[in-house]
């Protein structure tokens, strides 16, 4: 049996000079090809956990580590310098933090050149990511002068061009307008259809996570409070409300129907499913009246 893509075992982390642990006794397994939605309020430990998987912790931060964080069976601290970053790609909420080149094309090619890929392979991957993220019209433009949504698609495409086995996205649409947000998530949806890639997605916009995620995890104050397959995750909404999680309208509506006893159907996680529940109730009510 193959190793999990990610295995976190009794993991805790405390930053230097902090009085409390940012992550506390986390247990987590992510299988190859799985998409995990990671949610929680600000300060819950989401970014710390993801930085630990990418090796930024403890690589670039000082602190106290307990437990293990393994990527494809190897503890992150046992990877040779730079090797883990070829396996795990991290996309931040601020795309400009990742830019190093003067044109979009150079930005997309930069990482591939560092991997030592052949010109033919670079051209093949460049064509693929340009098609995936609709970037061909932008190749000659400076990445700092394009729109916010375009910048995020460039940052995402530049990471995908290196074809990491694990992709971590830390609030990739936090700074985007609704239209740009839709385009970024359309890229991720297409990626999931075309490639088997393990993905961890941090995002406050649950309506965009839900269609992508196989499983959801809720963090609070550095601890894992709840973990379940995506539909089951929304069976009981009281904990999510208590943690201040903003629920999509369809999920909240379906939860209200279940909590009021109006339906025993499984949780609806899309507008279409919630609408069908409403139609079923209306049909049942008409039947009772007749």
- Any residues with CB less than 8 A from the CB of 244 and at least 6 apart, and which? 41
**More reliable by pLDDT, 92 or 29:** 29
CA separation for the pair 83, 89 (Å, rounded)? 11
CA distance 25 to 224: 8
Q: What is the pLDDT of residues 59-89, one digit of tens each?
A: 899 999 999 999 999 999 999 988 998 999 9
Q: What is the pLDDT of residues 163-174, one digit of tens each?
A: 999 999 999 888
Q: What is the mean pLDDT of the chain?
A: 92
Bond from prior residue into 169 cis (ω within 30 degrees of 0): no
Q: Give the domain ranges of the chain.
A: 6-247, 248-290
CATH superfamily of 6-247: P-loop containing nucleotide triphosphate hydrolases (3.40.50.300)
Distances (CA, A) of 262 to 37, 130, 173, 283: 29, 48, 36, 13
Q: What is the pLDDT of residues 115-143, one digit of tens each?
A: 999 999 999 999 999 999 999 999 999 99
**pLDDT, mean of residues 94-102:** 89
């Amino acid at each position: 049996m193959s190793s999990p893509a990610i295995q976190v075992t009794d993991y805790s982390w405390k930053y230097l000079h902090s009085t409390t642990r940012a992550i506390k006794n986390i247990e987590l397994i992510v299988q190859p090809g799985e998409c995990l939605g990671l949610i929680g309020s600000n300060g819950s430990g989401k970014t710390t956990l993801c930085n630990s998987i990418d090796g930024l912790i403890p690589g670039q931060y000082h602190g106290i580590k307990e437990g293990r964080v393994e990527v494809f069976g190897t503890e992150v601290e046992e990877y040779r310098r730079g090797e883990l970053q070829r396996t795990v790609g991290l996309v931040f909420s601020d795309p400009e933090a990742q830019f190093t080149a003067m044109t979009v094309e150079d930005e997309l090619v930069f990482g591939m050149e560092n991997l030592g890929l052949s010109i033919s392979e670079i051209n093949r991957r460049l064509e693929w990511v340009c098609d995936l993220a609709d970037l061909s019209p932008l190749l000659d433009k400076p990445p700092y002068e394009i729109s916010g949504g375009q910048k995020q698609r460039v940052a995402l495409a530049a990471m995908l061009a290196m074809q990491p086995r694990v992709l971590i996205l830390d609030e990739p649409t936090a700074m985007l307008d609704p239209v740009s947000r839709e385009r970024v998530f359309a890229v991720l949806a297409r990626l999931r259809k075309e490639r088997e890639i393990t993905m961890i997605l941090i995002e406050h916009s649950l309506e965009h996570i839900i269609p992508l995620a196989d499983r959801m995890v809720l963090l609070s104050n550095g601890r894992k409070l709840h973990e379940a397959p995506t539909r089951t995750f929304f069976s009981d909404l009281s904990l999510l409300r208590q943690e201040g999680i903003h629920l999509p309208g369809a999920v909240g509506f379906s939860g209200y129907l279940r909590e009021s006893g109006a339906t025993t159907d499984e949780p609806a996680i899309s507008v279409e499913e919630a609408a069908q529940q409403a139609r079923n109730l209306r049909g049942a009510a008409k039947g009772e009246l007749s």
